[in-house]
Amino acid sequence: MSENVITTVSQGTGVITLDRPRALNSLSLDMVRAITHTLLAWRDDDAVQAVVVRSSSDKAFCAGGDIRFFHDLGRATPQQGSALVEDFFTEEYALNHLVHHYPKPYIAVMDGVVMGGGMGVAQAGPHSRTRIVTDRTKMAMPETNIGLFPDVGASYFLSRLPGRLGLYLGITGATIGAADALYAGLADHYVPAADLTALGEVLNAGVGAGLPAAIAAFAAPFRAAAGPSSLERDRAAIDRHFGAGSVPAIVASLQHDDSEFARATLALMAARSPLMMCVAHALQQQGAAMSMADCLRMERAAVRRTLENGQVIEGIRALVIDKDHAPRWTPPALADVTDDMVRQILAPAWPDHAHPLRHFHGAA
């Protein structure tokens, strides 16, 4: 078990508390294993009727995977530890699959930063999920900024958002707040941070399987306080531009729009990996018609290809290690990205019988 994951059970509710505040609860392999172990144990435990996942910090629910870990081990030889990066993604995606199909009410208190792998821990399937955001919530799938693509099942859950919101969020890596998360369907309830103590009393009330209904009743009066959604305001533009059919076509469409939204979006995209934006687009196009299991299998192979490509190591170097914010993307420009490059990233990395996630069942 991990020292950064605290678990308790009281009155029918199991609580998983992420406790790595200095790293904004970035997930280590030990943390992934501890969360998985706990959820597997509670899945068949009649004493646990509902699960709550939360943070010990008011700054972050979970900022994603530990990208320093990826960088340091990814540069090493397999003998020195890069095989652990492969283990991390395989086990993280197994956790994402477990969360998606969890048979008991699964409540995520997404206070503070919720990005990347944090979304994978929070976005349970529609039959079990209760996702709470606050006025401190900062949500994003920012992987194209580090030379990766939105993963942890994002090809499933982003592709199912209304209109082209998933493509917009996945390609640009834009950060959204509570109102946008509610509008997009990435959250269910809003609770002001000042009322989280009162929410804690609801979570500790011992109502078991009735916890989602109790949370809904508690949160209902706060809904309007989440404020207006910028995604709703810009929805027509998002659907128009991001429905253009390809990333180059999206950019061309935005370039013919002199609005503040178009200018801001072009600026975001200019900093992202050209290849990974195209991969993100392709993954969502395919994922929209696939099960969560198949999406995770597709993403796992794409991660393997991306690690071979080296984009993510360079992206993390520029953003986190050297902090020069000047990644040397390969290729450097969107015009240089070919369909063959994208197909290479999406190509199967193993025979079906040898895929590390081959045992996932394929139900939606």
Q: Is 135 a catalytic residue?
A: no
Q: Is 201 a catalytic residue?
A: no
**Annotated catalytic residue within 92, 143, 234, 294:** 143
Cα→Cα distances 55→26, 61, 157, 203, Å: 11, 5, 23, 14
Q: What pLDDT score was predicted for residue 173?
A: 97
Task: Give the distance from CA 130 to its chain's centroid.
Answer: 16
Assigned token pair, 120: 């994978």
List 54's β-bridge partners, or say none. Answer: 17
**Annotated catalytic residue within 74, 112, 116, 117:** 117
Q: Are 70 and 316 contacting, i.e. CB atoms less than 8 angstroms apart?
A: yes
**Annotated catalytic residue within 64, 65, 116, 153:** 65
Q: Is 65 a catalytic residue?
A: yes
Chunk the chain into consecutive blocks of 10 residues (it has 364) and report each block's average pLDDT, rounded to whole numbers.
92 96 94 98 97 97 82 60 83 98 98 97 97 98 95 98 98 98 98 98 90 98 97 98 98 98 98 97 98 98 88 83 89 96 95 95 69
Please tell me the pTM assigned to this model: 0.95
Q: Are strands 5-10 and 13-18 parallel, antiparallel or unpaired?
A: antiparallel
**Annotated catalytic residue within 92, 151, 294, 299:** 151
Q: Is 58 a catalytic residue?
A: no
Q: Are 157 and 124 contacting, i.e. CB atoms less than 8 angstroms apart?
A: no
Q: Among the residues of the chain, which ranges form H helices?
A: 29-43, 67-74, 83-100, 117-122, 154-157, 165-172, 178-184, 196-203, 211-219, 230-233, 235-242, 247-255, 260-270, 274-287, 292-309, 311-316, 339-346
Distance CA 89, CA 351 (A): 18
